[in-house]
Structure 1
Amino acid sequence: MKDVAAVRNFLPQIYAVFLVTAVLCYLTSFGGFFEQWNGLARKAPVVRFTTFSVLTVFLAVIVALLTITLSAKAVPCNERLTGALMRVLNVLAFVSFGVMVVFALASAPLQRHYLPQLGYSTCNALKGNPSVWFTDWVRNPDWCVKSKSLEWVNEQARNAEKN
């Protein structure tokens, strides 16, 4: 029963951590994760790939699952249920670490292999690039102009469509 009381005292902090984590994941790159793939699907003129944006999906799920598990322990729920939730949480944390390592090693080679096949050229000149955190790809190599922004590339593409 002592554990249940300790978990109940900790719940307000874990709920706050969950909310802050969810907001930060969305603001930093979770929204960008879906935007990247949407840009590829609609053949956007420029795509910026953030290498670790997929990890925010795992981070958000891990924190949500931790919140659910601690809430179940505070009720208290069936020990088998909370044990199963803890096992899933441990597996997810291990898988997330593995995905992080694989993405860190494979992201750049996969981009260099597949994006040219989709009609994209690498661009290291746009504003904010180069960086270890993301890479830019443009459909027209002429739009890769030093210190220009992604918005400028999109504007050039719209102007080219009008002509």
Structure 2
Amino acid sequence: MRDIKNIRRSAIFVIPISILLSVGCFWFSFMETIPMLKDINALAPTIRIMPGAPTIFMTPFVFITLALVSVLNSIPCNDNILRKSDKALSIIFALGISSALVSLIFITPLQYYAMPKLGYTRCNILEGHPTIYFTDWVKKPEWCVRGKSREWVLEQARLASGPENP
């Protein structure tokens, strides 16, 4: 038999944390991942790629499903419903892990193949390069200068385009 009292006590923490983590993942998607895709599409002078970015799109669904399963476990309901919700959580969790593996196994080599074809040079010496899980790319190799920021690269690109293009 399930201990409903302890399940409800833990649900008080699981549900808000799951919702906050989901909101954080959506925020990261809109603040980091979508601008990265727009930069690639616009052939921006500098691009920062995170190979694990597609995982961020799957992660909120894991947390939302976890919150729903927590709600279903904290109310007395049919065991058949609980088994189906646990199975749904397992499937979504497996999809999240597989998207992470696909991201790391395929997107990392894909960027090293595709970005040079788009005219970019790898540059991991720019200031503000956060971790080894991000890769900076610049349009011109001379813009890859140690200690300079991505804003400096954008300024150099603006200056190189001439005064007629502000």
Query: TM exceeds 0.5?
Result: yes
- Give the % identical residues: 28
Corresponding position of 2:11: 11
Corresponding position of 1:157: 157
> Structure 2: how far apart are the matches of 1:127 and 1:55?
26
Which sections of structure 1, spanning at least 5 residues, go unmatched?
Answer: none
- Residue identity opposite 1:143 in structure 2: W
Corresponding position of 1:111: 111
> Structure 2: how far apart are the matches of 1:39 and 1:32?
11
C-alpha distance after superposition, 1:3-50 (max 9, x if no partner): 4333222221012322442355356x4331222112112222111011
Contact map agreement 1:124 1:130 (CA 8 A) in 2: no
- Residue identity opposite 1:38 in structure 2: K
1:106 Cα deviation from its structure 2 partner: 2.7
Cα root mean square deviation, aligned = 2.5
Corresponding position of 2:85: 85
Residue pairs, 1:58-137, within 5 angstroms:
58-129=58-129, 131-137=131-137
SS in 2 for 1:126: coil
Contact map agreement 2:45 2:139 (CA 8 A) in 1: yes
> Structure 1: how far apart are the matches of 2:130 and 2:5?
50
Q: How many pairs are equivalent?
A: 162
Provide TM-score, normalisation by structure 2.
0.80
Could you tell which deviates more after superposition, 45-54 or 74-83? Answer: 74-83
> Structure 2: how far apart are the matches of 1:51 and 1:100?
9
Could you tell which deviates more after superposition, 102-111 or 124-133? Answer: 124-133
C-alpha distance after superposition, 1:63-85 (max 9, x if no partner): 11100121123234454443322
